[in-house]
Amino acid sequence: MASATQSKADQPITAILAPLLAIIVGMFMVILDGTAMNVALPGLVMDFESSLSTVQWTVMGYALAQAAVIPLAGWLSDRFGAKNIFLISVFLFTVGSGLCALAGSIEQLIAYRIIQGIGGGMVAPIAMAFTYRLAPPGKVGAVMGMIGIPMLLAPALGPIVGGWLIEDASWHWIFLINLPIGVIAVLIGLKTLPAIDRQQVPTLDFLGMVFGPLAFAALAYGLSEGGTSWTSAKTLTGIIVGGVSLIIFIIVELNRKQPLLELRVFRSGNFTKGIIVQWVSQVALFGTMFLIPLLLQQSHGYGALKTGVLMLPMAIASTIFMPLGGKLFDKIGARPLVVAGMLMVSIAAFLLTGIDADASQYEYILPLGMLGAGMGLSMMPLNTHIIQASPAHLVGRVTSLTAALQQVVTSFAIAILTTILMNKVGDYNPQYNPMTDPIPVDAFSDTFAILIWVGAAGVLIGFLLSRPKPQEGATGEGVEKPVMMVNH
């Protein structure tokens, strides 16, 4: 055993480049496709002659599908083998992409995006765990850094690639481009990924599997329908079914020894404060990433490619400040970084409220750069703080919990902000027709004003964070490594 360990320690990183390539290609494809969708939404409204409230479900349905399967990734990997589940996930995502390209109605596209999300949701957590096992001892940081490349690069390139494909071809190519990439990833993986021994697993939480996704999807549906009427049958049905399902889900999870999502971790006050700040930051970041492309295309008439390029300052700033936040965390803790980051987000939202219909494209550079910098500065410290604030015996379950809830909060943010936006559109243009009328800039300004208060709430809660005390038994051995999810 010692000689085998020593042999692995002496193994150069180049020896595992082939399996790493399969993992990186799979992750890159999933993340790139997700961020490319944001610039496609205005075109989908026109092509399918639908409303934004309906088209938004191509993003929300995808996020909720991911939330449903992320907690299952570890269980399925242990039960059926990490290699098998990773390749099946990439294959399912690729099949979902092909179906999306063939969609003849918005309802079909939403259904196929859910299939994509089921496959794509498990790719990142399994990839991170796989990479950690592949890495030679003493070289884990370098290898995990290689996996970080698609996590940072894909969100930056997604809107640009998506914009280019939409302008030079059609939205169908956002999905068609995945077909050869997915096939390559599967073929490389079949040949190079090692088979990891299966392990004994606890009984699967079937009730959690049913009531969790039902609660989140029904609540998101009710919130989105609220944009039309808060007293309609659709709105009330979604909220009531979602609320009852959520109560049942919480009761079930708190009473199971091996729940789908470990909700008992919320008994830690420091963890709860950290996760609330994370949710606030999710609303601010992904709400803005959803709204900005709509603003640029609907109100300013910019093309999809130009819109994608204008989103680049946010991605660049996030990439620069993310490692800085990670380094500063060890010296000063999460609180000052979170406060500073959320303050920058609030200022960015304030600047966006002042942009009018005649604004130059250059006026977007500063607020988008500040938004990216604020999120980059606070994201890694928040992730690490949440892991450290978890009770020692629950640390291994926290990654799947936080990753799944991030997707849920993102879908809620999109539903709520779309509802607010469309209500504001009705205030400024009661006769608004999505097929012929642009969305008034003032409606976007009023919606961004909401995000000022969201960021301010993050600042206030950030002041309440305190350094978690080292917990007995939290040595890190046998514990899942923190996974930072990038929204798709």
Q: pLDDT tens digits, residue range 333-391?
A: 888 998 999 999 899 989 988 888 787 888 889 999 998 898 888 887 887 788 778 77
Per-residue confidence (pLDDT) for residue 141, from 0 to 100: 60
Using the predicted structure, report yes or no on whether residue 69 has a pLDDT greater than 90.
no
Lowest mean pLDDT among 39-53, 161-175, 393-407, 417-431: 393-407
**Measured between alpha carbons, how far is 480 from 147 in angstroms, rounded to an integer?**
16
Output the six-digit token pair for 54. Answer: 């309906």
Question: What is the pTM (predicted TM-score) of this model?
Answer: 0.81
Give the per-residue pLDDT at 477.
Answer: 41
Q: What is the mean pLDDT of the chain?
A: 82
pLDDT value for 478: 41
User: What is the signed CA dihedral for 301, 307, 310, 315, rounded to 10 degrees?
Assistant: 150
Looking at residue 274, its pLDDT comes to 86
Give pLDDT, residue 470. Answer: 55
User: Between 260 and 255, whose confidence is greater?
Assistant: 255
**What confidence category does residue 484 fall into, taking pLDDT thresholds of 50, 70 and 90?**
very low
pLDDT at 110: 95
Residue 188 φ then ψ, to 5°: -65, -45
Name the 3-class secondary structure at 80.
helix
Tokens of 422: 């469309």
Section 52-76 average pLDDT: 85
Q: Which two tokens stand for residue 239?
A: 């909220």
**CA nearest to 406, candidates 36, 54, 24, 71:** 71
* C-beta of residue 447 within 8 angstroms of C-beta of residue 291: yes
* Contact status, residue 115 vs residue 88, Cβ threshold 8 Å: no
Short-list 389, 358, 370, CA closest to 482: 389
Q: Residue holding tokens 């969100």?
A: 155
Q: Is-contact 202 243, C-beta < 8 A?
A: no
Band (pLDDT 50/70/90 cuts) for residue 155 is confident
User: Are the CB atoms for 375 and 281 separated by under 8 Å?
Assistant: yes
What's the rounded mean pLDDT across residues 188-203? 77
Q: How far apart are the first and last CA of the chain?
A: 41
Residue type present at position 461: I
DSSP 39: G
Could you tell me which residues come within 8 angstroms of residue 350 by beta carbon, excluding any fewer than 6 positions away?
A: 452
User: pLDDT tens digit string along 260-269?
Assistant: 888 888 888 8
Summarize the confidence of residues 442-459 as an average pLDDT. Answer: 89
Angle value at C-alpha 363, between 360 and 364, nearest 5 degrees: 110
What pLDDT is recorded for position 115?
94
Q: 10 falls in which pLDDT band (50, 70, 90)?
A: low
Going from the C-alpha of 163 to that of each of 35, 59, 304, the distances in angstroms are 11, 17, 4
